[in-house]
Amino acid sequence: MHQFIFDQPNYRVIFGVGSLDALPDEVRRLGRRALVVSTPAELPFAEDAARRLGDAAAGMFTGAVMHHPIEVVRAARERAREVDADCYVTIGGGTTTGTGKAIALETGMPVIAVPTTYAGSEMTPIYGMTEGGVKKTGRDRKVLPKTVIYDPTLTVSLPPQVSGPSGMNAMAHCVEGLYAFDGNPIVTLMATEGIRALARSLPVVVREPANLEARSDALYGAWLAGIVLGSASIGIHHKLCHTLGGTFNLPHAEVHTVVLPHATAYNRDFAPEAMRLAADALGARDAAQGIFDLIVTIGAPTSLQQIGMPADGLDRAAQLATQNQYPNPRPIEYGPIRALLENAYHGRRP
């Protein structure tokens, strides 16, 4: 029997090859002059965006960094004031998108996001900001970009070793949406479609990075994954990734990649319908094994050992992952979680 709450924010999304051409019009809808924000490595994207904006570009701020220290957010705000900007354009990966969300939280000014990876942050009200060495996270619809422009052309430069894990990060959002206690039928539709799009596109994306059809399909899956993450709660998979990433400083997308098959196997017998839907979308008999096989196919990491996890950290990780639990179909208990981490550490097929 269906029972759910459906409460979806408004999104304005412009999707397609060449959609970055819409940027000047989108800025005009929201303001006069935009400050273009990116990380230092994403400078070429910021320059391209500023060039396209012409007079509507107030300037650039290319100091975005991970974890969004409040000092960086304030520096961006100061820069916007100096150059008389009344809106922001963020162009880059999840780090840049997250900086835009922190800016929106602090300033209330409109942000247009142009994502260039598959992280999906632009579709979620989840924000993070670091102040005095302490990272604060929360959910607030105020941080949602006013417009999101998805142009697959911008993702062609993502190398296979970034594309693969980034795509698996997106798939993780979909998988957890399928068994979220607060999911709804639309979330389920988006999650299964997201898994299907990512599963068929990622092998092509890593083999032929310039294949625009596959890039478009992968970005489409990532868009759906972002909405799923923003609409439903997260469970053991994201809890483990937050614990491992935060405590052992492991790379974000790679942790998601390694952990996903094991977190899926952990819930295997406790969320049968979610497993059936995920397996079906993957074209596999078993969801966890289908995910693991896909990771092998795309040449992404399969073990925590490979991505810098210290072997003597597994006990601590299991302890931390069982504290402040996220809702999850299977009870979160130290023994089975420790075993999961051991399997993930060695990259065993689940």
Question: What residues line the site for ligand NAD (CB under 6 A)?
Answer: 39, 41-42, 66, 92-96, 98, 116-117, 119-121, 124, 126, 154-155, 157-158, 162, 166, 169, 229, 252-253
Enumerate residues 6+ apart whose C-beta is below 8 A from 56: 24, 27, 28, 32, 33, 34
Min. distance of Cβ 312 from ligand NAD in angstroms?
25
Min. distance of Cβ 274 from ligand NAD in angstroms?
20
Q: Which is nearer to ligand NAD, 92 or 329 (CB)?
A: 92
SS3 147: strand
Min. distance of Cβ 242 from ligand NAD in angstroms?
9
Q: Which is nearer to ligand NAD, 252 or 350 (CB)?
A: 252
DSSP states along 80-123: HHHTT-SEEEEEESHHHHHHHHHHHHHH---EEEEE-SS--GGG
- Rounded CA gap, 267 and 328, in Å? 8
Q: Which is nearer to ligand NAD, 93 or 261 (CB)?
A: 93
Using alpha carbons only, what angle is made at residue 214 by residues 96 and 223, rounded to the nearest 5 degrees? 40
Report the phi/psi class of residue 108: left, alpha or beta, with left for phi > 0 and alpha for psi in -120 to 50.
left
Minimal CB distance residue for ligand NAD: 94
Min. distance of Cβ 128 from ligand NAD in angstroms?
6
Q: Which is nearer to ligand NAD, 226 or 329 (CB)?
A: 226
Min. distance of Cβ 282 from ligand NAD in angstroms?
21
Q: Which is nearer to ligand NAD, 238 or 262 (CB)?
A: 238
